[in-house]
Structure 1
Amino acid sequence: MTRLENEKFLEQLKTLFQNNRVKGTVVLTMKRYDGRTKPIPQKDTSLPLPKEHMCLIRAYCSGAKKRKISTVIHQKEVNKFQIAYCSLLKTNMDGLKKKKKVKKTKA
């Protein structure tokens, strides 16, 4: 998995959406990230809390070209990233298929 800077991540995410417009899926996950690369031991609960909370965003596609990318957003940069991220999603989510409603008949 490739960890990118925020601007590079948005550029790569845009290309993932464009490459998978006709066929394929792009999956996005977001989670809280404290900067640790190793799991917390269960026995030791006296670890200090992180100074700054961060957000880890991962994206992967399952189309013809399988790719995984990720980025870490610091607390100070959340507003700037969120505005750019929302505009990217709005421009690339126009090809979604609508679900057909199934009408139930009374017996």
Structure 2
Amino acid sequence: MQLLDNDTFLSRLSLLFQSSKEHGTIWLTHKRLTHDGDDVTMDSADDSREYPCIIRVTDGKEAKFSTHITSEKLDKFLSAYGTLLKSSMSTLRKRDKKRERVRAEKLAERKQRLAEPILIEGPKRGKGRRKRQRRVKAALKQEDARQRMQEKQEAKEKTKV
């Protein structure tokens, strides 16, 4: 992890936002920086020490850098950081709700087809035999799909518990 000064950090962060505009993920981590080896309590009122803040950035691959911000520079840094975040967030893609709705409709239609039984009618021999065979085959296929769906639901229930 590379430690940068505040201005360099902001410029590298803006470049990282631009490079991952089309696709990619960026993780930002904000923490209070402590150098003590002891457990630090947040509610101690008599503590007059001021701790710097650390902000880390990574894209999960090669870009990993961070910066320390002291309490004197915090307001200036946060205003610049906030404008950078707002400008980069405005370029994010919106969800394609139409595509999601079409997928949900197809899924509902598929579930409805599984719920409806296939009627097997017609003669076993003679005229209409092939039609009956196709329906038998479709009924077997439907039953297999029902079993697979039930197994998936049972597996989901096991993972929830």
For residue 52 of structure 1, the aligned residue among 31, 50, 53 is: 50
Aligned mates of 1:26, 1:93 — CA distance in 2: 12
Whole-angstrom CA distance in 1 between matches of 2:13 and 2:37: 28
- TM normalised by structure 2 equals 0.51
Q: Radius of gyration: which is bigger?
A: 2
**Alignment-derived partner of residue 19 in structure 1:** 19
Alignment length (residue pairs): 93
Equivalent residue for 1:46? none
2:53 is aligned with what amino acid?
C
Aligned CA distance change for structure 1 residues 50 and 5 (closer, same or farther; 3 Å): farther
Q: 1:51 to 1:20 in 2, by over 3 A?
A: same
Per chain length, whose mean CA-contact separation is higher, i.e. which structure has more relative contact order (CA < 8 Å, sep 6+)?
1
Q: How does 1:84-99 map to 2 (within 5 A)?
A: 84-99=80-95
2:62 matches 1:66: yes
* Conservation of the 8 A alpha-carbon contact between 2:21 and 2:92: no
State the match for 2:3 in structure 1: 3
Q: Equivalent residue of 2:72, what SS?
A: helix
* Structure 2: tracts of 5 or more residues without a match: 40-46, 102-161
CA distance in 2, matches of 1:66, 1:20: 13
